[in-house]
Amino acid sequence: MPIPEQRPFSPPPGSGSTRRPPPISLGDLSLVRALGEGGLGAVALTQLHRECSHPLELRAPLFATKYVRKKETKETEWDDDAKERAALARLPWNPYVGSLVSVHEDDVNRYLHLELLPCGSLHQLVRTVGPLSTSAARFYFANIVCALDHIHRSGYVHRDVKPDNILMGRDGYLCMIDFSFTKKEEEDDAKDWVGIGTPVYKPPEVVREDLDGEFGRGIDWWAAGCVLYEMLTAWHVYVGCDDDRVHARILKGKFKYPKGVEVDPDARDLISRLLDQTPANRLGRNGTEEVMRHPFLSGIDWCKMKRRQYAAPFVPRDLDPVNMHHHAAMPKQEAVPGLHIERPPLHRRFEDIAEDDETDPRVRKKRRLAR
Ligand SMILES: Nc1ncnc2c1ncn2[C@@H]1O[C@H](COP(=O)(O)OP(=O)(O)O)[C@@H](O)[C@H]1O
Ligand SMILES: [Mg+2]
């Protein structure tokens, strides 16, 4: 059944408001907690504080702000955030993809303000409660299929599908993030396709660095197969003590299931079809429908899944991202000059005391004792 188009928002008659609230300015945002570290920057929770009476404006909305140091992108010539920004700006909105809300820059950083997905990553979920049940893994895998369907239909390949880049929203559904390696599928300059990605999730054609290889959406389906294996076993498909060992095992192509872990036969079949060494034979290569029709997913009503009408296996409750205990140190003000840092109260601070934070009484006490 086709999904009906959503009606665009129209302002109440006579309200005089425009279709959207006014754009966000960097000075209206406060940085309230650190969320994650990245290669060239970090991700932080930010909150908008401004007086705005637009009917669509939420009260003090939260964002995940990814900031990347401009100096380092220049030095390393890795302009990942510019690529991510370009891909996110061109991808049509979809609930399975963490969207870009706004962008800013100051003298030090470029900032991407993203939709906040506050309930942790699939990686954390698998590490804390994995292996997942067959039905939970089926639901989460179906979320990944919806995300890839949208990305591929829009002409892109994500190229870094892995549990750290799949986050949970408040409704318990998963969303794909981190579009720094995303690429248009039609751009077929082979040298841009090889070597990219995270070692344990790379398919053989990328590991082999064979410039005559067939590159494209098969890269994402291979990684999706690795993620399904990981959800059902809490192990990686191909492991090794270093990247070379992992790459050698990927090229050999043999994998086993850990002893004592029961894996559904249909799930095993799907994993082996997604982990096909030949990209042209890999399931999903000719369209997402191939994957959707697989017996492991045959009970899913895809129209219902795309509308998010299934009950998620786990729905986080009473989550208050601002007032939780901090699990990482806040950045220093000079690292994010454009944002106002709102320091948390002492009892919620990350234990690792910033040695030069004069406002922290623990630091002052430590210094007094050292004298
Ligand atoms: N939209 C978001 N909502 C909540 N946390 C996020 C969001 N985006 C990123 N993060 C956190 O920041 C981490 C790094 O973000 P990511 O975009 O993957 O950066 P990198 O390119 O450095 O891997 C994620 O693993 C997650 O913990
Ligand atoms: Mg990432």
The token pair that represents 368 in the structure block: 């007094």
Is 154 within 8 Å of 108 (Cβ atoms)?
Answer: no
Q: Which of 306, 335, 359 is the last residue of a domain?
A: 306
Question: DSSP string covering 12-47, please?
Answer: PTT----SSPPPP-GGGEEEEEEEEE-SSEEEEEEE
On whether both 209 and 269 belong to a single domain, the answer is yes
Which of the following is catalytic: 160, 178, 220, 276?
A: 160
Q: Which residues contact 25 (CB under 8 A, 6 or more apart)?
A: 104
**Amino acid at the residue 350:** F
338 and 250 in a common domain:
no
Co-location of 173 and 235 in the same domain: yes
Q: How far apart are the CA of 11 and the centre of ligand 1, in A?
A: 34
Please tell me the distance from the alpha carbon of residue 227 to that of residue 147, in angstroms, as a whole number.
14
The pTM (predicted TM-score) of the whole model is 0.89
DSSP character at residue 135: H
Asked if residue 47 and residue 172 are part of one domain, the reply reads no
- The answer to whether position 16 is within a domain reads no
Q: What is the pLDDT of residue 11?
A: 53
Q: Structure tokens of 31?
A: 């940085």
Pairing of strands 29-37, 340-341: parallel
Q: How many folded domains does the chain comprise?
A: 2
Name the 3-class secondary structure at 47.
strand
Measured from the Cα of 178, ligand 1's closest atom is 17
Domain presence at residue 231: yes
Q: What's the confidence (pLDDT) of residue 352?
A: 61
Q: How far apart are alpha carbons 291 and 313 in whole angstroms?
A: 21
Longest dimension (CA), the chain: 74
Is 160 assigned a catalytic role? yes
Q: How far apart are CA 58 and CA 361, in angstroms?
A: 36
Q: Is 117 in the pocket of ligand 1 (CB under 6 A)?
A: yes
Alpha-carbon dihedral angle through residues 316, 201, 35, 354, given to the nearest 10 degrees: 140
| Residue 170 maps to a domain | yes
Of 38, 105, 79, which Cα lies nearest the Cα of 182? 79
- DSSP symbol at 80: H
Predicted local confidence at residue 187, as pLDDT: 74
Q: Clarify whether residues 153 and 177 are in a common domain.
A: yes
Answer whether 143's CB lies under 8 Å from 174's CB: yes
Does 159 share its domain with 280? Answer: yes
Ligand 1 contact, 64 CB (< 6 A): yes
CA of 225 to the centre of ligand 2 (A): 18
**Inter-axis angle of helices 218-233 and 265-274, nearest 10:** 150
Q: Does 131 share its domain with 109?
A: no
Instruction: Give per-residue pLDDT as tens, 265-307.
Output: 999 999 999 999 999 999 999 999 999 999 999 999 999 999 9
Residue 139 in 3-state DSSP? helix
- Is ligand 1 within 6 A of the CB of residue 73? no
Burial class (CB in 10 A: 0-12, 13-18, 19+), 286: exposed
Does residue 106 lie within any of the structural domains? yes
Pocket test for ligand 1, best of 178, 198, 319, 327 (most atoms within 8 A of CB): 178
Tell me the pLDDT of the chain averaged across its residues. Answer: 88
CA 177 to centroid of ligand 2, rounded, Å = 7
User: Looking at the structure, do residues 128 and 104 belong to the same domain, yes or no?
Assistant: no
Domain that includes residue 340, residue range:
23-116+321-371
What is residue 38's predicted lDDT score, i.e. its pLDDT?
Answer: 72
Residue with tokens 């699990």: 327
pLDDT at 35: 93
98 within ligand 1 shell (Cβ under 6 A):
yes
What is the C-alpha radius of gyration for the chain, rounded to an integer number of angstroms? 22
* Substitution candidate for ligand 1 out of 177, 181, 198, 322 with most atoms within 8 A of CB: 177
Q: Which residues of 301-329 are buried (b: 16+ CB within 10 A; e: fewer)?
A: ebeebbebeeebeeeeeeeebeeeebeee
Spatial separation of the C-alpha atoms in residues 300 and 276, rounded to whole Å:
24
The CATH number that applies at residue 287 is 1.10.510.10
Assess whether the previous peptide bond of 131 is cis (omega < 30° from 0).
Answer: yes
Task: Tell me if 312 is assigned to some domain.
Answer: no
Q: Among 273, 306, 339, where does a domain finish?
A: 306
- Say whether both 153 and 211 belong to one domain: yes
Q: Is 167 in the pocket of ligand 1 (CB under 6 A)?
A: yes
Q: Give the single-character DSSP code of 344.
A: P
* Structural domain contains residue 275: yes
pLDDT of amino acid 116 = 96
Q: Which ligand is nearest to the CA of 177?
A: 1
Same domain, 110 and 151: no
Of 174, 154, 146, nearest in space to 305 by CA:
146
SS3 269: helix
Check if the beta carbon of residue 123 is closer than 8 Å to that of residue 262. no
Q: At 114, which helix (H) or strand (E)?
A: strand 109-115
Single-letter amino acid, residue 111: Y
The residue whose C-alpha atom lies closest to atom 13 belonging to ligand 1 is: 36
Shortest-distance Cα residue to atom 18 of ligand 1: 178
Residue type, 117: L
Q: Is residue 5 part of a domain?
A: no
Q: What is the pLDDT of residue 33?
A: 94
- Report the distance separating Cα 84 and Cα 78, nearest Å: 11
For residue 48, the cross-strand partners are 29
| All residues with CB under 5 Å from ion ligand 2 | 165, 178
The reply to whether 134 and 226 lie within a common domain is yes
Residue reference for tokens 């986050």: 167
Cα separation, 3 vs 102, whole angstroms: 28
Is residue 184 one of the residues assigned to a domain? yes
* CATH code of 345's domain: 3.30.200.20
Q: Are residues 290 and 327 in the same domain?
A: no
Counting as low any pLDDT under 70, the low residues of the chain are 1-18, 74-78, 188, 211, 351-357, 359-363, 365-366, 369-371
| pLDDT at res. 189 | 74
CB of 164 within 6 A of ligand 1: the answer is: yes
